A and B are shown apart, each in its own frame.
Chain A
Amino acid sequence: MAAEANTQAPLPSGQRSTAEVLRTVFGPVVQLFLFIIGSAVTLGLIVVLLALLQIGTRPDILTRTLTILPQVWIDGMVRGFLFATIALGYTMVYGVLEFINFAHGEIFMVGGVAGAAVGLFLANNELLKGMNGFFFVLLVVGVAMAVSGTLAVTVERVAYRPLRGAPRLVPLISAIGVSLVLQDLVRLMMTNSDLGFNARFNTPDFGKPIRLFEMTLGERPVPVILSPKALIFIVASIVMLVVLNYLVNATRLGKAIRATAQDMPTASLMGINVNRIVAMTFLIGGALGGAAGALFGLNVGTVNPYMGFIPGLKAFTAAVLGGIGNITGAMVGGVVLGFLEAFVASYLSLFTDGALSGAAYADIAAFSILILILIFRPSGLLGEATTQKV
């Protein structure tokens, strides 16, 4: 691989046993699952406590809280993996260039739109009806990854590379410009094609919702339902996270990326083609974002050209929450933020008796979390305190 021009015999540390590789690949995934279980349990206990506090005035509140709790957990997982996959793009680019790729939310959106276009194409050609669901997901996600990855690399080449080494604000402003241009270009294309502004995401029939189990609370049993689309989302995200971990922690390309992130000038002295690595970082980050976009569109059912903005912002929050520049941190931050948001969205109106709408205030909750982290722990959950280089 040209990314690493070190043609001498590989160092002993370069050859690792399979066990070691497995440990570096699955270590972060295990950490991620610990955080998922941790946030699920902690937040669950908090809502139960809050319900117990109100039980004097509203006797049915504990039952209502427990009834929706498993559903909120599933919702939290979906949101969490969504933020995690987008946040990875932010954090990888930040790690390499120390620059917030503001347009990443739009890369995500383009993935969703590309997926919807594939769905529409298949539907128009009568191919969708009997299509294998697994194959459909693979196709849609593959196309979205290709389109978004290519777009991310192009954007880097056109709008960011000429500005490398400029004062911090300059590339950031350029990135904001890219984000606005992409939103309107996609809108122009969508409104002038069959997709329309709010495009429907055509999918084959994935079958009935899966009944996980039934809880008996009060008089009647409450089923816990997992929709097949949510299941697809969760499984696909986990697969992507594992592959990414393998790529970054166990391959030569990953080593080159890590070296570039650590110290770009030195990496280039070691024979790493830094420009190529930066492009690869954008490609991987963009492809992940695109896949997340396609899966999100598939899960929600519609896509529109402005859908990338808010998830992009929240994914950035997730990246900061986990410690920006840290790949495991981005996943953990995404999942924690997703759970927090799901809990606020579902329980705020329940606990305030409908006075505050949870869906609207979930956004505010996410940004408040961002501000709180930045005040109290700017390095994030897993990040190390960084000192500014002079």
Chain B
Amino acid sequence: MTSTISSEGLWDRFRGMLSRGPTAYGFLGLYAAVCSWLLITNPRTSLSTDVVFVLLLLLLLFIYRSQVALPFRVGLVAILLGVIIPYFGTLNPFYIDVATQAGIFVALALGLNVVVGFAGLLDLGFVAFFAVGAYFWGILSTTQIAAFNPAWGPVPPILFYPFILLGLLLGAITGVLLGLPVLRLRGDYLAIVTLGFGEVIRVLANNLDRPINITNGSQGIRDIERPPLIFTDFVRGTLGWQLDDQQLYQQFFYFVVLLIVLVTVVIVSRLKLSRIGRAWEAIREDETAAIAQGIPLVRTKLLAFAVGASFAGAMGVVFASKQLFINPPTFDLLRSINILAMVILGGMGSIPGVILGAVLVTLLDLQLLPRTAAVLRDLQKSGVPIPEAFDPTQYQRLFFGLLLILMMIFRPSGIMPDERHKGELSEVAATRSRGRGEQDQQGGSEA
């Protein structure tokens, strides 16, 4: 034991050195400079660039955990996210797309975190609200709208901005409509009903091409409108950057998503500390006790449901506009599970944890699995016995399933646990050793 203590001491001192005092400024600054230099001088898509890109994202985590002056931290993050990544994106479009995707999923995971992490309601059909937002903009911004009334034309693309807010509202309304009947029930029923609802939305999207063609069925909706680029002249004229429209749109969506993520983080962290947030956590910990404290159960749960759904609705509008094309399989159960895995991996209820989880899962999805697939193919060619049909990119369910099981058994509170939530989940170990009988007895004597 003594050796581990001394090594921990060393490790702690090392960490302290890197996160406090003048060495920390030097370390973070140097780290950022080296990563940026490496990325910009060698922007080809390759394994080494992948590693550097991940290291750059890891730096954000270090900055968050370090204890240096706030202006320095904010400034460094702003430079990294606002200058380095967009500039790198003009050199290599793949990585900025990854960053934008990650941002979309961060916002979605933060929304689901309100429902699952804060209020403890398991929602397995979260992607349904995302689909509602996406189809909302998809239908209204394309000629699909003529299905309702041949006289109507698509809305002008500039209305994209108010439609983000409308998507927010629509998501909230859908959430309330679904939540109202089922939120009076116990949690596990809710999980199944939301799962069913997710399927219903997908089946509807697949089948509402008859009798009137609303969603264009399994064909999906094409040519979804993007907002006009109002800043083209500024970028090309004033700044003198010769970027084509495709690149400009990538930059545009990157910044839109970044902005939405920032707003979401602010809203969610304010909510968490508010009266409502504490009410959610009280319900999560013990419904009966929460009612006894005078918390209106259904209304509070409904609010959590609506808040989570509204983020998904707004992101749906952005997603449809970014992808230009949506179809029902985009919104299948796997996507819901994906978002849930982000929340659980990072730590239910913990905002930095969920952001980390969302980024990790997106990287796993878009970078790690395709790279592993390539490596496996090479191994196959050199004669290692790997099944022919095994392509890691096709087996996401396997990886996410294993992730969920292992997290639940070994670390139910996630990578970066929420302080308040950690208490409840670490009781698991205690009750496990005490046995269920005693726990029930205790409950009985308290009542």
Q: Which residues of A contact B (CB under 8 A)?
A: 99-100, 159, 162-174, 176-185, 187-188, 191-192, 264-265, 268-269, 309-310, 313, 316-317, 320, 352, 355-357, 360-361, 363-364, 367-368, 370-371, 374-375, 378, 388-390
Contacts and interface: CB of A to CB of B under 8 A. Distances in A.
Given A181-B401, A188-B395, A360 B203 contact: yes
Given A164-B436, A181-B398, A355-B210, A370 B196 contact: yes
16 contacts: A100-B192, A165-B431, A166-B412, A167-B424, A173-B122, A173-B344, A176-B340, A176-B404, A181-B401, A313-B192, A352-B211, A360-B206, A361-B207, A363-B203, A367-B197, A390-B288
Contact of A192 (B388, B400, B409, B443): B388
Interface stretch (B84-92, B183-191, B247-255, B274-282): B183-191
Contacts of A99: 188
A367 B437 contact: no
Q: List the 5 closest A-B pairs by CB distance, nearest first.
A: A177-B404, A180-B401, A265-B437, A181-B401, A184-B398
B436 A264 contact: yes
Contacts of B172: none
Contacts of B424: 167
Give the interface SS of chain B, mostly helix, strand, loop or mixed.
helix
A172 B404 CA distance: 10
B439 interface: yes
Given A163-B409, A177-B408, A361-B207, 9 more contacts: A162-B432, A168-B188, A170-B408, A174-B405, A179-B401, A180-B400, A181-B405, A357-B210, A364-B200
B405 A371 contact: no
Instruction: Select the residue from A177, A265, A316, A368 with max chain B CB neighbours within 10 A.
Output: A177
Given A168-B188, A370-B192, A180 B398 contact: yes
Contact of B443 (A166, A173, A364, A390): A390
B12 to A, nearest CB: 31
Contact of A378 (B185, B333, B395, B408): B185
Interface in B406-420: 408-409, 412
B304 interface: no
Contacts of B189: 320, 374, 378
B182 interface: yes
Interface in B338-395: 340, 344, 387-390, 395
Contacts of A170: 408, 412, 425, 428
B267 interface: no
Nearest to A188: B390
Nearest to B388: A192
Contacts of A164: 432, 436
Give the interface SS of chain A, mostly helix, strand, loop or mixed.
helix
A184 B401 contact: yes
Contacts of A159: 405, 408-409
B193 A374 contact: yes
Nearest to B439: A165
A295 to B, nearest CB: 24
B387 A188 contact: yes
Interface in B104-157: 116, 120, 122, 124
A61 B404 CA distance: 52
B199 interface: yes
Nearest to B212: A355
A137 B211 CA distance: 43
Contact of B204 (A100, A179, A310, A364): A364
B210 A388 contact: no
Instruction: Select the residue from B340, B397, B402 with max chain A CB neighbours within 10 A.
Output: B397
Instruction: Select the residue from B120, B340, B401 with max chain A CB neighbours within 10 A.
Output: B401
A390 B445 CA distance: 10
A165 B428 contact: yes
Interface in B190-223: 191-193, 195-197, 199-200, 203-204, 206-207, 210-211
B199 A313 contact: yes
Nearest to B201: A364
A387 to B, nearest CB: 11
Interface in B173-188: 181-182, 185-188
Contacts of B193: 367, 370-371, 374
Contact of B181 (A264, A357, A375): A375
Contacts of A180: 337, 397-398, 400-401, 404
A177 to B, nearest CB: 3
A177 B405 CA distance: 5
Contacts of A310: 199
B440 interface: yes
B69 interface: no
A361 B439 CA distance: 45
B196 A374 contact: no
A60 to B, nearest CB: 21
A269 B438 CA distance: 12
Contact of B200 (A184, A268, A367): A367
A264 B387 CA distance: 45
Nearest to A359: B207
B403 interface: yes
Nearest to A316: B192
Contacts of A191: 389
Nearest to B408: A174
Contacts of A355: 210-211
B441 interface: yes
B447 interface: yes
B101 to A, nearest CB: 21
Contacts of A184: 395, 397-398, 401
A168 B122 CA distance: 10
Nearest to B187: A168
B66 to A, nearest CB: 32
